[in-house]
Amino acid sequence: MTVKTSISFTDRHHEFANKKAKDGVFTSVSSVVAAGIELVMQDEEERKVALTAMSDTIKRRMQTPRKEWIEMKEQDPLFIKARAHLKSSKS
């Protein structure tokens, strides 16, 4: 099904879409817009998958018994780097 709608472009976006259609990269300005929307939808789905994976990993790690934790020393390079990053982000 195709739905007609009215949209507004900046001059820059309009020129780009028209050029892509004129150059034959896309069949029309509408197809340029549709391709852009598809990319946004794909990006959103990939972000959702990544966030779900991170959430699952965090939940799994939270269920790890304390005796199985890997002990990290105070001078571990990871801790040093993380503390420096946190300190610089507060500034």
The mean pLDDT value for 13-34 works out to 97
Alpha-carbon gap, residue 49 to 70, rounded angstroms: 27
Neighbouring residues of 79: CB distance < 8 A, sequence distance ≥ 6: 72, 73
The mean pLDDT value for 12-25 works out to 97
Across all residues in the chain, what is the average pLDDT? 92
C-alpha distances in angstroms, 10 versus 41, 78, 82?
A: 22, 46, 42
Neighbouring C-alpha atoms within 13 Å toward the C-beta of 1? 1
Above 80 in pLDDT, residue 72? no
Under 8 Å between Cβ of 44 and 51: no
pLDDT band for position 74 (50/70/90)? Answer: confident
Whether the pTM exceeds 0.85: the reply is no
Burial class (CB in 10 A: 0-12, 13-18, 19+), 30: middle
